[in-house]
Structure 1
Amino acid sequence: MKSFTINDLNRMNQSPFIKTLGDIFEHSPWVAEGAWSSRPFADKEQLHAAMVDVVEQAPEDMKLKLIRAHPDLGGRLQMSPLSVNEQRRSGLSDLTAEQYEEFHACNTEYTHKFGFPFIIAVSGKSKEMILEAMKYRITLDQEAEKQAALKQIADITRFRINDLIITNNGGDQPMENFTNKRTMHYGKGDVLVYRTFVKPLRVQPVPESTYIGTDNVVFALNVKISVWADILLTSFTEGDNTSVVATDSMKNFILRHTADFTGNTVEAYLRDMATLFMDKYTHLTGIELSAERIPFDPVKVPSGGDFFTDSGLVFRHSRNESGVFTFKMERGEAGYEVLGHSALLSNLHLIKVKGSMFAGFVRDEYTTLPESFDRPLYIYLNIGWEYADYEDAVSEGEVKYVAAEQISDITHTLFHQLNSPSIQKLIYDIGLRILERFPQLGKVWFESNNRTWETIVENVPGSEGRVYTEPRPPYGFQGFSLTQSDLAEARNLLEAAASAELK
């Protein structure tokens, strides 16, 4: 069985997540579907708890449907591959004729009484122990046995998740392959690609932004590629390069096939490039591509009278924030499987010269920071987002495409409008607005640094001005993620508050 880290699962969009975990709860992919919105999971225990919670919150008929999806122990019903392996390990797949008849008789009595098959976590139990447990549980009443069955399902699924998920003690390594439970990948970085006159991009407008698209005259990227496969092991252990695609060849492949790109977004570019590369080198198992969009802004030139317009020919290499996009894919039984994707607006630096506050925090013998009710606030921000369905990022028409420029403009607007009590509250409100404007997004997350200047002169005579300098080296930081369920909860709270006021 293929193994994953918790980070692999956290980066999956909804479809591969459900496909990967759909049989953890027997023939019940709705459990994985319900747990997907609870990402990110800190560990496999938190993932399992989220899936169990989906079952506990489900209607009674869905719980019964889940119980009835399980095979009869020692029987001949259709089983998932996971159940087949579990029953084989406990010896239930090689019962003698006499043992089969005894199991069959007990199971018939059990199912006749309760209306569902007997369920037990068989791991570590012998055939004899399982039969004795069945005989005892036949004596329970209907509700007690239903709860016992659900408890056993929770135990079974805990074992399955433990088998599926491996622990990556080295931390989050986005370019790492865990199929073999070892680090084994290689690739090429800093592949600088400059393509001109790509198909223009047009996006749906949002109230906080004037951005409606780009002519894509300069489509500039810094690309990184990483690949992996079991067959590459000997290149590490024996120096055998017969299956190694030279990283220089990778660079040339990317540069030359950039001319074949007919789309207009970085996401589509990465998907197309990954597919072409895997089609060419069929011995490879998986690929991860990332690309930073290198911004080139059109310069303004006179167009007659007092008007200026974009040159269309001359562009300025901007040093402002940029988008960083990733795409991860592997071969599967039914074709290529998207394992993960993300977009990130990086290095957004914003200063608000007044109108921010920070007060009410813990004060003790270690506190020297004064409370502030109208301070400047200088923040560094990285903002990431994922689509619930990756097709929305790459489909023709761009109806649901989310541009990094729109994410940036929403952030500017909220920073201007809000007098936030903290950076934490600020990024929470920005996240809610992004999810509100773009319901096609499944998740948005933030990494923020507080780089607020240190005040030197409080009052400049005759003005509102002050004098500041760079802050001292230690800085505060925050991390936070939101999903559509957070937006729904926030709306419910607002509706409840409004209803209470009317009363």
Structure 2
Amino acid sequence: MNVYSIKQINTMNRDAFMSTLGSIFEHSPWVAERVYAYRPFKASNHLHRTMLEAVYLAHRDEQLSLLRAHPDLAGRLQMSDASVQEQRGAGLTDLTQEELAAFTACNTEYTNKFGFPFIMAVKGSTKDQILAAMQLRIHNDSEAEIRQALLEIAKITKFRIQDIIHSEGGGEVKKSDKKRTMYYGKGDVLVYRTYVLPLKVKPIPESAYTGSDNVIFALNIKVAVSGAAFLTSFTEGDNSMVVATDSMKNFILRHAAGFEGSTVEGFLHYIAARFLETYSHMQGIDLLAERLPFDSVQVPGVDGKLTESGLVYRQSRNESGVFALQLERSETGIELVKQTAVMSNLHLIKVSGSSFANFIRDEYTTLPESFNRPLFIYLNIGWIYVDPEDAKAGDDYRYVAPEQISDIAHTVFHQEISASIQSLIYQIGLKILERFPQLEQVWFESNNRTWETVIDSISGSEGQVYTEPRPPYGFQGFSMTQEDLIEARKKEGVTR
């Protein structure tokens, strides 16, 4: 394939222009014909945007003719050279008989419903992802699917133009852009799904929590997407590859109905996969979800004893689980870059049994030593699995619930006479790693909010009077792995 500069494109006569660009839109040279008069173009993205405008302004019959000009994916219809290469790259030209039969059946059902073949920008996608997208989109209504098909054509033609026109500083993606920070997305996407699959977890001695009925599955989600295709939206105001953040919100809400799992991590994997299957120009996706806890209220049962309602719930305003997921495309498919879970905003007060002494004392020291103080901490506890799959299923007793992590912290805080916050979080970490050997790492962010003493002695009482501490606040950060547990047990003379 010959490669040209935008300057060369701008100086071509009509025949050369049509010969070079007439096949960008599948068997539809009329698109290139209509934009020829709009030369000169500032850059390839300007040319592409002008071509898309010609398509969007065309009569609906012409748009449908463009859609019908595309070949069946994995079919045997005549394809342009570009389509052959694109489908070969996705593995669609080398299917087994069973795979071909599945694609053919979906193609037939899709074409019978919409009157044009399934269209998807397959670059960077696997054949399994393409078939899944086809099975999903077949449930759209006609208008929605026409819009989606035209969006896919916009992606396909963007790639084709980039293959023909090389960069001369006109807005194309450079190698240096691989290190660029570039993303956009939507925050505070509130999802309230009822009657998700119940979650069951393995009981541990420190916790009464054994799972959730998941009658209310409430999340606050933040989504961000990235990819080189979005560069020109920043540099040129070219929105042809931009999925509106309002559409992202609606995408998450609509697909929440199709989730069949029981864990937040499983939900994030499900949503992320749907995004990358639907929008092939997205290179990566980051999702952050806070579980909004709802507790079942207790009401008198038939025997007069209090029992959980199962119908009425109250929202908790305390600690909650926060979960993060990052996926990116690679040459071999979609890869997991990051997956974490955090028990966030845990506030614990112990009225006695904590100390802080024997620290460095010099001319800067004003803090007195304390051997039996109240201790008030804010605590975030995070964890990472050895096998990320353990976080998705929730049905094999490998899932680690934030509620159990919280209860372990409560128990250790109660049992330990701690010499410092650092010592306290270390002991909590050891217990978490002991209870959950499926975890690779546990980490802590703690903040000292211990009250200031106003009156330290009350006649006839053990009580004292305190007030809120004044800033600044001390904080601690610490991470631990299973190796720390092994070393600690060796020191205690215990083998695991």
> Which category describes the TM-score, using the shorter chain as reference length?
0.5 to 0.7
Residue type of the alignment partner of 1:270: L
State yes or no: 1:190 paired with 2:188: yes
- Which residue among 369, 372, 392 is the counterpart of 1:371? 369
Q: Deviations over 1:304-349 (max 9, x none)?
A: 4441011111110110100000010011222210001100111100
User: Are the equivalent residues in 1 in contact too, given 2:263–2:393 (CA < 8 A)?
Assistant: no
For 1:479, the equivalent position in structure 2 comes to 477
User: Are the equivalent residues in 1 in contact too, given 2:429–2:442 (CA < 8 A)?
Assistant: yes
CA distance in 2, matches of 1:306, 1:487: 47
For 1:401, the equivalent position in structure 2 comes to 399
For 1:422, the equivalent position in structure 2 comes to 420
Residue type of the alignment partner of 2:279: Y
For 1:463, the equivalent position in structure 2 comes to 461
- Which residue among 426, 437, 440 is the counterpart of 1:439? 437
Q: TM-score, normalised by structure 2?
A: 0.63
Q: Which runs of 5 or more residues in structure 1 are unaligned?
A: 1-177, 499-503
SS state of the match for residue 252, structure 1? Answer: helix
Q: TM-score, normalised by structure 1?
A: 0.62
SS state of the match for residue 415, structure 1? Answer: helix
For 2:218, the equivalent position in structure 1 comes to 220
Aligned-pair distance for 1:194?
Answer: 0.3
Aligned-pair distance for 1:179?
Answer: 7.5
CA distance in 1, matches of 2:365, 2:282: 56
User: Are the equivalent residues in 1 in contact too, given 2:199–2:394 (CA < 8 A)?
Assistant: no
CA distance in 1, matches of 2:347, 2:229: 45
In the TM superposition, 1:119-130 aligns within 5 A as none
For 2:200, the equivalent position in structure 1 comes to 202
For 2:355, the equivalent position in structure 1 comes to 357
State yes or no: 1:316 paired with 2:319: no
Percent sequence identity over aligned pairs: 65
- Which residue among 237, 240, 247 is the counterpart of 1:239? 237
Aligned-pair distance for 1:398?
Answer: 3.6
Q: Deviations over 1:199-254 (max 9, x none)?
A: 10000011100000000010000001111111111111101111111111100000
SS state of the match for residue 455, structure 1? Answer: strand
CA distance in 1, matches of 2:487, 2:357: 26
CA distance in 1, matches of 2:326, 2:300: 45
Residue type of the alignment partner of 1:181: K
Aligned-pair distance for 1:487?
Answer: 1.1
SS state of the match for residue 274, structure 1? Answer: helix
For 1:250, the equivalent position in structure 2 comes to 248
CA distance in 2, matches of 1:231, 1:453: 52
Instruction: After the TM superposition, list the runs of 4 or more consecutive aligned residues in structure 1 that deviate by more than 3 angstroms.
Output: none
For 2:34, the equivalent position in structure 1 comes to none
SS state of the match for residue 267, structure 2? Answer: helix
Q: Deviations over 1:248-307 (max 9, x none)?
A: 110000000000000000000000100011000011111111100001111110114441
SS state of the match for residue 180, structure 1? Answer: helix
Q: Deviations over 1:67-88 (max 9, x none)?
A: xxxxxxxxxxxxxxxxxxxxxx
Residue type of the alignment partner of 1:447: E
State yes or no: 1:230 paired with 2:249: no
CA distance in 2, matches of 1:272, 1:359: 50
Distance 1:351 1:396, change over 3 A: closer
For 1:32, the equivalent position in structure 2 comes to none
For 2:408, the equivalent position in structure 1 comes to 410
For 1:390, the equivalent position in structure 2 comes to 388
Could you say which structure has the larger radius of gyration? 2
CA distance in 1, matches of 2:177, 2:460: 67
For 2:23, the equivalent position in structure 1 comes to none
Q: Which runs of 5 or more residues in structure 2 are unaligned?
A: 1-175
In the TM superposition, 1:331-342 aligns within 5 A as 331-342=329-340
For 1:30, the equivalent position in structure 2 comes to none
Q: Deviations over 1:426-457 (max 9, x none)?
A: 00010111011001101111010110001111
Residue type of the alignment partner of 2:401: A
Aligned-pair distance for 1:474?
Answer: 1.2
Aligned-pair distance for 1:395?
Answer: 2.9
Residue type of the alignment partner of 2:468: E
CA distance in 2, matches of 1:227, 1:192: 18
CA distance in 1, matches of 2:219, 2:351: 34
Residue type of the alignment partner of 1:413: T
How many corresponding residue pairs? 320
Q: Deviations over 1:394-443 (max 9, x none)?
A: 13524210000000000000000000100000000101110110011011
CA distance in 1, matches of 2:235, 2:364: 54
CA distance in 2, matches of 1:308, 1:347: 30
Name which of structure 1's ranges 345-354 and 396-405 shifts more when overlaid on structure 2: 396-405
Q: Deviations over 1:443-480 (max 9, x none)?
A: 11101011000111112222211110111111111000
Aligned-pair distance for 1:490?
Answer: 1.0
CA distance in 2, matches of 1:279, 1:311: 40
In the TM superposition, 1:119-158 aligns within 5 A as none
CA distance in 2, matches of 1:259, 1:281: 20
For 2:37, the equivalent position in structure 1 comes to none
User: Are the equivalent residues in 1 in contact too, given 2:263–2:394 (CA < 8 A)?
Assistant: no
CA distance in 1, matches of 2:245, 2:473: 39
For 1:267, the equivalent position in structure 2 comes to 265
